[in-house]
Amino acid sequence: MLQQLPAVVYSPWIPLKKGVLSGSMELKTSHFPIPNSSFLGIKFQVTHAYENENATRRRIIIFCTDSRLTHGRKVKKLEASLQNVDLPPILPKKKKKPYPIPITKIQQAARADKKLAQMGIEKPLEPPKNGLLVPELIPVAYEVVGAWKILISGLARLLHVVPVHACSECSDIHVALAGHNIQDCCGPTSGSRKSFHSWVKGSINDVLLPIESYHMYDPFGQRIKHETRFNYDRIPAVIELCIQAGVELPDYPSRRRTKPIRMLGKKVIDMGGLIEEPELHSSYGSESSIMELDTYRIQDRYSPPAESDVPKIAQQTVKAYEKVKRGVTKLMKKYTIKACGYCSEVHVGPWGHNAKLCGEFKHQWRDGKHGWQDATVDEMFPPNYVWHVENPKGLPLKQTLRKFYGKAPAVLEVCMQAGAQVPDKYRSMMRLDIVVPEKEEARFVA
């Protein structure tokens, strides 16, 4: 169906020199069925050049859209719902991890600090870089500790109901009634098993990877040496971060400064003096405050839950997992955490320790010392992705259909099989909207 064009008023053409014709035309306002647009009454000065004066005139049609029709009005963007999202690539072990902050920015900051030091100007520091607490982050730290307790206690009870299998040769786990048949084992004897996994019963430390850190009374004090590493306790890194952010635990005290630290370049010129660290009397007895914050033998301390309480516990565990991840992300924006660029070691504090415990790629060149760099959230609180199983009691996953299977964090996979509702942001990762074909149908799928 054709739409009648608006009335056009032409002014007479005026012949100019060298075959140039000049004129003006006026378009009257007329609305067309074009979304968010219309024609306006605007005068256009038209000048067209011809090779000779006797050339045939050409008719020119100009369309103009009105952007003012959408001014001041919210326009919804059409967001395509993704069916599947690929996971972050697995970094090679024979190479250092990439820096979270570009190396050029790190070098620029180092040059700026060196220039200030040469001029004798102190380095400007804000809390918590100067040793003082950030008042608005103290409630966040307490919230993370509370969510962490719910998370590990909920997982300890759910693992009595949900079966978890771990490979005895590599770090992979599987949450289902039986282990999968996907050939992706990279253990030392995987060649003799054709990359099939050797499944054994898993524990909570297989689902929630134990990332530990040394507890220091004064993170800005003397660095931990290799000979003095046994003088410091190792606790979950999330708890150590919360302690430095303001959480008070009787068994693990922390120094609270009232005067800021002063630095000149990389040198600390005033740290308020060295204070003797109090003796720690922590133990894994019934009165220890760290006992309910650590996953050591936690499954033995909790009995299997009632069948009617399993979905409720699973939903609480999912909420606690999201709270911990969100809180750790907020704290890491302010507090410094170092991670080794070669292994999974993490240290909470402005400088990494000097313990020679790294055994990864080319550790002989570094004398076993860690290659410290800024940590990411996934290094501090790793998701530990596992294959998602639609029917835990069905047939094991097959190698030929692996491209149709999704993955999810191990904690969420356990909770989902226990009856919890998984947040929508994980649906595309788990590929819940994709129907897995049969083995003989897979070759017909594009």
Instruction: Note the pLDDT of residue 407.
Output: 93
**What is the pLDDT at residue 79?**
46
Range of the domain at 48: 8-70
pLDDT for the residue 328: 97
Helix, strand, or coil (residue 248): coil
Domain-ending residue, one of 364, 382, 400? 382
**pLDDT recorded at residue 41:** 44
Distance CA 382, CA 378 (A): 4
Say yes or no: 213 and 115 in one domain.
yes
Output the pLDDT for position 282.
47
Is residue 143 domain-shared with residue 292, that is, in the same domain? yes
| 128: preceding bond cis by omega (within 30 degrees) | yes
Instruction: Please report whether residue 436 resides in a domain.
Output: no
In a domain, 30, yes or no: yes
- The pLDDT value recorded for residue 296 is 87
Give whole-number Cα distances, 419 to 158, 175, 223, 308, 415, in Å. 11, 14, 47, 11, 6
Which pLDDT value is given to residue 39?
41
The pLDDT tens digits for 345-399 are 999 999 999 999 999 998 999 999 999 999 999 999 999 999 999 888 888 999 8
**74-95 pLDDT per residue, tens:** 544 434 457 778 888 888 888 9
Q: Is residue 298 part of a domain?
A: yes
Q: Are residues 212 and 141 in the same domain?
A: yes
The ranges of the chain with pLDDT < 70 are 1-81, 280-288, 439-440, 443-444, 446
Helices (H) and strands (E) in the chain, counts: 8, 16
> Is there a single domain that holds both residue 263 and residue 218?
yes
Whether residue 255 is contained in a domain is answered as yes
Q: Is there a single domain that holds both residue 125 and residue 64? A: no
Decide if 250 is inside a domain. yes
Task: Tell whether 358 is covered by a domain.
Answer: yes
Same domain membership, residue 309 and residue 352: yes
Say if 311 falls within a structural domain.
yes
With 0-12 / 13-18 / 19 or more C-beta atoms within 10 angstroms meaning exposed / middle / buried, residue 215 is buried
- Residues 185-193: contacts with CB within 8 Å, 24+ apart? 193/169
Count up the domains in the chain and report the number: 2
**Statement to judge: residues 270 and 342 lie in one domain:** yes
The answer to whether position 308 is within a domain reads yes
What pLDDT is stored for residue 332 in this prediction? 96
pLDDT the model gives residue 308: 92
pLDDT for position 265? 84
Instruction: Tell whether 259 and 329 lie within a shared domain.
Output: yes
